[in-house]
Amino acid sequence: MTIAVRRKGVAKVGLKPAGFGEPCSPTTRSHNHTITIDKPYHSPNPSLMNKNTLRDITETPDMGITLSDGCRLSARVWMPKDATDDPVPVILEYLPYRKRDGTCARDALTHPYFAMRGYACLRVDMRGNGDSEGLMEDEYTAQEQADAVEIINWAAAQPWCNGKVGMMGISWGGFNGLQVAALGPDPLKAVITLCSTVDRFADDIHYKGGCLLNENLGWGATMWSYSSRAPDPALRPDDWREMWLERLENEPFLPAKWLQHQRRDAYWQHGSVIEDYAAIKAKVLAIGGWGDAYKNAVPQLVEALPGAKGIVGPWVHKYPHFAVPEPRIGFLQEALRWWDRWLKDIDTGVEDDPDYRAYLMDGLRPAAWYAERPGRWIAEDTGATSHLEAETLHLTDRGLRANPDHLNATISSPAHCGAEGGEYCAIWLGPEMPSDQRSDDALSTTFDTAPLDFDMDIVGAPRITLTLASDRPQAQIAVRLNHVHPDGASSRITYGVLNLSHRRSASAPEPMMPGTAEEVTLSLDHIATRIPKGHRLRVAISNAYWPLIWPAPHQSSLHLTAGQIALPQRPSGTSDEVAFPPPDAAAPWETEELRQENHIRRTETDRVTGAVTLFIEDDFGMIKDADHGLITGSIARETWRIHPDDPCCAYGACHWSDTLQRGDIDLRTETTCEMWSDPDTFYLRARLEAWEGETRIYERDVEEAVPRDHI
């Protein structure tokens, strides 16, 4: 039996990273990829087969969990029908992404699967979101975490629970699983975290290398839209309108809040488990994808947490049983082994698994989208990649060389350099990956190797050290490691960016002293890839990377006099070192398509003004839930504009339209926001409108001016 897996998020089956939370779109479908469903679980230990006999399950669409302050949270729950007689562990997924119409597609594939195998699965809407009461203040707040601890303790005390709880989630749910584990609630014994981070400042959607990510506005616009939507009137017939109006009146405009913290202060330390790994006692399985923004947490967690295991595939921001690019894996079977070991005390062999399993991708020609990545699975029994040896190549006037040599280079890129970098986090399954880098390379300072004499397997985080001087106190660099094909095509392997004021400290930035050479070091994102014999490596360095990061206030010129890059390598043969079962899942979500989805990416150059503008439109279509009849639809639009010679004309704007219909009830929200800057200040403006039929029932405008702090 096969099913078609739906795609995308917020109106996608996997969304922009979280801070990236990861809703899934009720309105988007995949490219008819198929996976086998509902086969028995095959453990490495055959004696376990009869312990995982499929059980009849029941689903509760709105189980109320009343917290100590009286706030009622809404949970969608799947569990065995006989759980009260034969109690089971709980698996909690805890998100702001609307279980009723947001994460439905992936929930249908995942939670019934575990429930049939002896688990109670709780998909809980956070306070102030979906069908839960209360108000949302921010992401990863102390309130959010305290609520999770209450939910865990409540669940463990239910007659249908055996007292043990696990947390699972991707993106936002991956973040808060780790954060709640660090609080140490006694019933929480295991966590499966996907596409998450250990450091909210270094590796989320707000800042990277101390540079302001434009995703701070883009994802903030998503939450401005997503959390302002009404609860389902069918679940709250008496007070849905009052809940909605209260939500609208109090919905925070988060991009401005996040922009108030432009250095790694206590705001970002909160919720960053890197501050105290030892606080995490639950057993952690960490999973990521090379096509995702969150590439670094898996090796970091494996090397920091005793007993942690890590898996990284070729995927974008998705669960691995329906992720792309292929190959997918049997994620649910792997997860079940983890849960059975730590929540049921069954010896499933997970402790004997290699610490780190990663997919080594063959180098391919550049493309904005891949359906499949050829390659092989590699494994490290102990640790992740820090023990691997690195080859150092030097930046010289003659290119990348094994030995140091003279270097005298200038880095002075136009402000629109970076147009081929793709989305910060590929989620929508459109043309979002880095495409041919040649046009960006032409606007950068580049260093190439000679054609390689052997296949080079790069596994880990390349680290580059540069000696440079800036003519401005505030400047930035973007470093890309590219794979150059014999015909000149250039594929981005990995990259890193650095705000040079953060060269010594992310918490205490210092401006550059113009004309004074300094040594700076940054790590590029983790990767595992093979560069074929006869091809070349390229290091490309620019001092702009738009529209991924907001530009420095003035164009700068950097003088580069020395540099080297350390490339971690691991010769890995030609065959898989580990194997996974094929993907499995429960039955898919049933919907009726009322409007087909459509996706647009278009770049325009104004020949009069010289401005370059990227237009993005994601129409996620409109669908009707075949079970309970709720109709939902979304359209998201983004505009990013800059002039090559004037970074201070940078401009970003987002506009979301969301509809919800049930019977005679017809609701709509329109949310817009925009951002621009001068050398001293960021300016933000946002508007929120709510409509009931043809009547506008609410409107609110927000304006903020935030001083630039060494950015």
Report helix, strand or coil for 674.
strand
pLDDT at 510: 98
Q: Considering the domain 390-568 in this protein, what is its CATH number?
A: 2.60.120.260
pTM across the whole model: 0.93
Tokens of 367: 């493309």
Predicted confidence (pLDDT) at residue 7 exceeds the cutoff of 90: no
Q: What is the pLDDT of residues 178-193, one digit of tens each?
A: 999 999 999 999 999 9
Q: In angstroms, rounded to a whole number, what is the distance separating the alpha carbons of residues 540 and 443?
A: 9
Residue 213 per-residue DSSP state: B
- % pLDDT > 90, the chain: 91
Beta strands in 81-157 (DSSP E): 88-95, 120-125
Residue 52's pLDDT is what? 54
CA dist., res. 140 & res. 494, Å (int): 28
Burial of 348 (0-12, 13-18, 19+ CB in 10 A): buried
Q: Residue holding tokens 């094994």?
A: 402
CA distance 190 to 302: 14
Distance CA 548, CA 366 (A): 18
**Per-residue model confidence as pLDDT tens digits over 373-415:** 999 999 999 999 999 999 999 999 999 999 999 999 999 999 9
Residue 330 contacts residue 580 (beta carbons within 8 Å): yes
Residue 195, classified by CB atoms within 10 Å of its CB into exposed (0-12), middle (13-18) or buried (19+), is buried
Q: Is the pLDDT of residue 267 over 50?
A: yes
- pLDDT at position 19 over 70: no
- Residue 439 CA to residue 448 CA, distance in Å, equals 16
d(CA 235, CA 63): 10
As a whole number, mean pLDDT of residues 588-616 equals: 95
Predicted local distance difference test score (pLDDT) of residue 23: 54
Distance of CA 586 to the CA centre of its chain: 24
- Per-residue pLDDT for 676 more than 90? yes
The DSSP bridge pattern shows strands 283-289 and 309-313 to be parallel
Looking at residue 32, what is its pLDDT?
30
Taking residues 644-667, report their average pLDDT: 97
The topology under which CATH files domain 2-210+263-380 is Rossmann fold (3.40.50)
Distance from chain centroid for Cα 540? 25
On the question of pLDDT at 166 being above 90, the answer is yes
Whether the pLDDT of residue 28 is over 80: the answer is: no
Q: CA of 297: how far to CAs of 90, 196, 309, 498, 563, in Å?
A: 25, 6, 12, 19, 27
| Stretch 274-282: mean pLDDT | 98
Quote the CA–CA distance of 303 and 277 in Å, as a whole number.
10
Please determine, for residue 127, whether its predicted confidence score (pLDDT) is greater than 70.
Answer: yes
Q: Tell me the average pLDDT across 538-566.
A: 98
Per the CB < 8 A criterion, the answer to whether 350 and 341 are in contact is yes
Mean pLDDT, the chain, rounded, equals 93
* The pLDDT value given to residue 22: 52
Do residues 205 and 22 lie in contact, with contact meaning Cβ atoms separated by under 8 Å? Answer: no
E strand or H helix that includes residue 459: strand 456-460
Q: How far lies 146's CA from each of 63, 65, 120, in Å?
A: 19, 14, 21
Identify the CA nearest to 262 among candidates 639, 671, 650, 553: 553
73 and 149 in contact (C-beta within 8 Å)?
A: no
Band the pLDDT of 24: cuts 50, 70, 90.
very low
Q: What pLDDT does 428 receive?
A: 73
Q: Is the pLDDT of residue 42 over 90?
A: no
Asked if residue 108 lies in contact with residue 586, where contact means CB atoms within 8 angstroms, the answer is: yes
Rounded CA-CA distance 370/359 in Å is 15
pLDDT value, residue 429: 72
Indicate whether 43 pLDDT > 80.
Answer: no
Pairing of strands 409-411, 695-707: unpaired
Contact 132, 74 (CB under 8 A): yes
pLDDT in the model for residue 293: 96
Res 103 pLDDT > 80: yes
Q: What is the mean pLDDT of residues 349-372?
A: 97
Tell me what the mean pLDDT of segment 198-210 comes to.
98
Nearest residue to 490 (alpha-carbon basis) of 432, 530, 539: 539
Q: Residue 190 carries which side chain, given as an amino acid letter?
A: A
Give pLDDT tens digits for 428-455: 777 889 999 999 999 999 999 999 999 9
654 SS3 class: strand
Q: What is the mean pLDDT of residues 320-328?
A: 96
Instruction: Collapse the DSSP code of 566 into the 3-class scheme (helix H, G, I; strand E, B; otherwise coil) and give the result.
Output: strand
Cβ of 258: how many Cβ atoms within 10 Å? Answer: 25
Quick one: average pLDDT of 352-359? 98
Residue 220 one-letter amino acid: G
Rg (CA), the chain: 25
Each residue's pLDDT tens digit, 52-89: 589 999 999 999 999 999 999 999 999 999 999 999 99
Task: Reply yes or no on whether the pLDDT at 138 is more than 90.
Answer: yes
- What is the per-residue pLDDT for 251? 95
Q: Which residue has the higher pLDDT, 43 or 614?
A: 614
pLDDT of residue 426: 87
Burial 167-191 (b: 16+ CB within 10 A, else e): bbbbbbbbbbbbbbbbeebebbbbb
Q: Is 349 left (phi over 0), alpha (psi -120 to 50) or beta?
A: left
Residue with tokens 């001092």: 543
